Structure 1
Amino acid sequence: MRVINAVGSTCLGLLMASAVQAADLSGNTGPRHEVRGGVMYHDTMNRESGVDLNVEYLSRFAAFDLFVPVVQWRATFRPHVGGSLNTAGHTSFVYGGYSLTLDLTDRIFVEGSFGGMVHNGVHVSADRSRLSLGCNVMFRESASVGFRINDQINVSAMVEHGSNAGLCEANNGITNAGVRVGYTF
């Protein structure tokens, strides 16, 4: 068992060292700040109406890069904060968490995020035109695919979902989908 642990630790150490070395040789400038804004189709279940105006800030502080040398992909973890305002007066929310951006090419990226959100929606509703979200604090996750127009501007399609994971009485959850434009600086 000790031999297996030693071999595994050595392999992991070599992999991490090669990833760090490859990251240094890639010319990567590291994580950067980014602001995104867009329009989201509110509640894909069609219980609540309206369009959401979304804004998000991704910080380079407390961020870090990883490089996967086998496939030449760069991954960046960055903290984010944001909010979505519903134009029809239904559920709006603010959120925060961490995003993982994976650069598939110089221009194409995919992204996933996980964190929490606080909303102003209804906890339990008999009204079929409103979501029953159970509690104000929920988990939030999102997935995006994007295209970098240049070094500073990108456009992405995103789907986001908020849920209390069954921790509160009701749990309809909320799912939005839309398009955003990002500016990196």
Structure 2
Amino acid sequence: MIRVINAVGSTCLGLLMASAVQAADLSGNTGPRHEVRGGVMYHDTMNRESGVDLNVEYLSRFAAFDLFVPVVQWRATFRPHVGGSLNTAGHTSFVYGGYSLTLDLTDRIFVEGSFGGMVHNGVHVSADRSRLSLGCNVMFRESASVGFRINDQINVSAMVEHGSNAGLCEANNGITNAGVRVGYTF
């Protein structure tokens, strides 16, 4: 019985992996690709905390897939991402992960939205007005970007991101950052 379960499990895993690879290569070289982004973010747009964040993000082609919207000739790509932001003033820094949806409006202009989770090192509850009260260390994170592809490998984008515990913890100031990033696709 254990051999049967292992065989079925291995077969399902193999089919799942083959499907993911096939989905990642739907359109040959024009399908989802790996991408690394880096940039600077204005930390806490509500000005409760200070500093600049150094941001880095990796978008993977593994477990990614393309969709094509024929009516408007747009291509959409779902890719998993991981990243982090380091605050230069010693305030709230965080790491995050989730999925991003990139929608190509033209061959050069794109918009993107993402959703996932984040873990931060900020303060849970603070009486200090110069610190955020974030309630708990694990929070939801979403972002929105608009970008321009300089060529097939390099792009630049403006981004806003927000982290919040959605009221699941007692304090919930949330954190919103905005900035610019450069991406390299390979």
Partner of residue 123, structure 2: 122
Contact 1:19 1:68 in 2 (8 A): no
Out of 22-31 and 65-74, give the one that drifted further: 22-31
Q: Cα offset for 1:29?
A: 2.2
CA distance 1:135–1:5, change in 2 (3 Å): closer
Q: Cα offset for 1:75?
A: 0.1
CA distance 1:11–1:178, change in 2 (3 Å): same
Stretches of structure 2 that go unaligned for 5 or more consecutive residues are none
Matched residue of 1:150: which SS? coil
The CA distance in 2 between the partners of 1:124 and 1:68, in whole Å, is 46
CA distance 1:6–1:163, change in 2 (3 Å): same
The CA distance in 2 between the partners of 1:74 and 1:2, in whole Å, is 43
CA distance 1:90–1:146, change in 2 (3 Å): same
> Which runs of structure 1 show a deviation greater than 4 angstroms over 4 or more consecutive aligned residues?
1-28
Q: Deviations over 1:5-35 (max 9, x none)?
A: 9999999999999999999997762100000
Q: Cα offset for 1:68?
A: 0.1
Contact 1:36 1:56 in 2 (8 A): yes
The CA distance in 2 between the partners of 1:3 and 1:120, in whole Å, is 46
Are residues 1:112 and 2:121 paired? no
Q: Cα offset for 1:72?
A: 0.1
CA distance 1:7–1:51, change in 2 (3 Å): closer
The normalised TM-score by structure 2 is 0.86
The CA distance in 1 between the partners of 2:18 and 2:60, in whole Å, is 26
The CA distance in 2 between the partners of 1:42 and 1:20, in whole Å, is 37
Identity percentage over the alignment? 99
Stretches of structure 1 that go unaligned for 5 or more consecutive residues are none
Are residues 1:177 and 2:165 paired? no
The normalised TM-score by structure 1 is 0.86
